[in-house]
Structures are given as structure tokens and as C-alpha cells.
Amino acid sequence: MSVLREGILEAYTGIVTAFKGTEQGMPSSQLTKPVAHSVLVRLLQPHIQDILELVKAALLDDNHGDPVYGLAYGIIGDLADIFGTQIKPLLLQDWVAAELKSRRCPPENKQTMRWAREVGQFETICVLFNDYFCLDGQTCHGLSIVFQFSFPLTSRGLFLLPYHTYFTGSTFEIAILLSTLGSLYLLPCALFVDGPSSSGVSSSIPLLRPGSTFFLTSSVQSSCLLLLFWFESLYQSSLYRLNSNPPPPLHRHIMQSFYPCQAVLANGGFAYHQFITRPFITPCHSGVVLHRLGCPISQPRP
């Protein structure tokens, strides 16, 4: 069954991509004929429902392997990219959002998921900290940690920011966004954002596309303390589970602000694991992640 679905999804992916007419991998003749392109896309339109039905069936079935889910997410992303607002009602169905938020999967699917989320209704920030990371009072040098925050537009708290204002445009704007976030708690933020510049990108194409994870390298500790606090709060909460001690109030507060978020921890760009703050991460998950990061963790005190 998995193999069959994988085959069908492969075929859909090929066809959808063929008709997509994006910049990459497209016959040059196509680019000069935008009218012909829109006709092609219209040909595809009657089939969207069928495609999404299959994607749904595949995603809701837990027996499939990761390649199936990866393809399914990819198709959602492609369709959203091609049709944009035209198929918004279809993409806003509950199962799409639930799937994009909940699924645990390996790195490559993560990328595809991120892509689907971006062109859909979800926002993502990736931050890579170099050379500064604090766990349990220890500073670990040379660690590269990617935080990925993804939250639906409906999320509460700090991140109710207008999508189009901040997530499209140049890296500069994202730097502003991050410093804004930082300054909610801590002040003057000096951020150095090193990433693909995307000046001139129109509002429908967010900056962060697959493969263009943008990096925020910061030797300035204060700039990212908010994010660090949040990670620490996750860590603390896992200690909390182990020790039955309540986490410090500040951490608890921050955790609440981030309540609907999830994050991915990674080393060198490869995602290892997914944290979900709700209700608490389990101690073993946290241990696994930290261990794989090569970070000497002190064992939680009994």
C-alpha cells in the first residue's frame, strides 16, 4: 500500500511540477509565454481535489514510511505555490494545519514541511547560533544550533505579527523582526544576519525557502537571549519532570508565551528532533537531543 501511494504521489509530484512553470528547471520557451502557462495551470485545477484527497489519505495513515509523507508535504507546498489564494479554502481545512504542525519526521521531510508551511499559512524563523549556547550554566563553544519556530497565524502572544510585514522582503527586514523580538525582553540588539539576500521578492514568496535557511550568527549574547531563555525553559521543564521541582517563574512565563510553538534543534543544519512544548517534553527526548549535539550535559540531579 505504501509503495502504491508513493508511486501515485511521485506521479502527481512530477505532473504538478511539470505544470508549475517555475524559474528553475523549466524550459526557457515556457518563460516567454506567461499566457500559455496560466492555461496549463487551469488544466490542472479540476484535479486538485483528487490530489488533495490522496494526500490526506496518505497523511492520515500512520503505516506509511517517511518518503510518502515527504512527497505529500511537497505536493501541498507546490499546490499552494501555484494556486495561492485560489485554493485557500482547501488548504485551510483542519487536517492540513494539523498535519503540518504535528508530524515528527526526519530532516529532509522537515525541509519539505517547512516549505509547505511557508507558502501556506504558517510562519517559520530559523536561527543559528554560533559559538554561544548556554545550558545549565555552562557555555559550550563551537556549537551550531538551529532553532526553528513555527507557529500558525492564530497563535497567541508575542508572535501575533503581521505576516506580510516581516516575512517577506530582504534579510534586513528579518533582522529587524528578530531585533524587535529580542527587544521585547532585552535591549539593544546587535544582530548580524548572514543569509541569502532576496531583494525584490514579491509578497507571496516568503524569504525562507527550502535550502535557504538563513543564519543568524551572533557573538552578541544579549541579542538572542529571548530565544535562549525559551530553550532553557524547555530544558528546565524536562528537569522539572525529572525532579518534580517547578521551573523558575521567568521560564514558566516565557514558556506560556510560546505555548503553541514547536522547535527543532539541530547541529550543523541537520534537524535531529522536534520539541513540542505541550505539555512538557519528556526527559528522554531532551537527553537524546543534547547528547547528539555533543554537548556535555550534566545529569539531572536526583
Partner 1 sequence: MTLVLQLISLVGKVSTVLEDAYLVVGTLASSLEQDFEPYITAFLQFLFPALKAHEDSQLCTIAVGIIGDISRALGEKTNEYSAGFMQLLSENLQSNALNRDAKIPILECFGDIALAIGPAFEGYLDHTMNVLRQAGSITPNPVSARVRVQRKALTHPPL
Give residues in contact with partner 1 (CB under 8 A): 1, 3-8, 10-15, 17-19, 21, 26-27, 30, 36-37, 40, 43-44, 47, 50, 53-54, 57, 61, 63
Q: Which is nearer to partner 1, 63 or 85 (CB)?
A: 63
Q: Which is nearer to partner 1, 13 or 222 (CB)?
A: 13
85's CB contacts (< 8 A; 6+ apart) are none
Alpha-carbon distance 69 to 113, whole Å? 9
Q: Which is nearer to partner 1, 26 or 158 (CB)?
A: 26
Q: At 298, list the grid cell.
A: 550534566
Q: Which is nearer to partner 1, 50 or 66 (CB)?
A: 50
Q: What's the min distance (Å) between Cβ of 87 and partner 1?
A: 16
In a 3-state reduction of DSSP, which class is residue 299? Answer: coil
Q: Which is nearer to partner 1, 44 or 87 (CB)?
A: 44
Q: Is 246 left (phi over 0), alpha (psi -120 to 50) or beta?
A: beta
Q: What's the min distance (Å) between Cβ of 135 and partner 1?
A: 25
Q: Which is nearer to partner 1, 61 or 66 (CB)?
A: 61
Say which DSSP state 228 is in. H
Q: What's the min distance (Å) between Cβ of 32 and partner 1?
A: 12
158's CB contacts (< 8 A; 6+ apart) are 181, 184, 257, 258
Q: At 153, list the grid cell.
A: 497565524
Q: What's the min distance (Å) between Cβ of 30 and partner 1?
A: 6
Q: What's the min distance (Å) between Cβ of 234 and partner 1?
A: 22
Cα–Cα distances in angstroms (integers) from residue 245 to residues 66, 92, 189, in the given order: 37, 40, 33
Contact 133, 139 (CB under 8 A): yes
Q: Which is nearer to partner 1, 3 or 190 (CB)?
A: 3
Q: What's the min distance (Å) between Cβ of 187 and partner 1?
A: 46
Q: Which residues of 149-181 are buried (b: 16+ CB within 10 A; e: fewer)?
A: bbbbeebeebbeeeeeebbbbbbebbbbbbbeb
**Cis peptide preceding 279, ω within 30 of 0:** yes
Q: What's the min distance (Å) between Cβ of 95 and partner 1?
A: 16
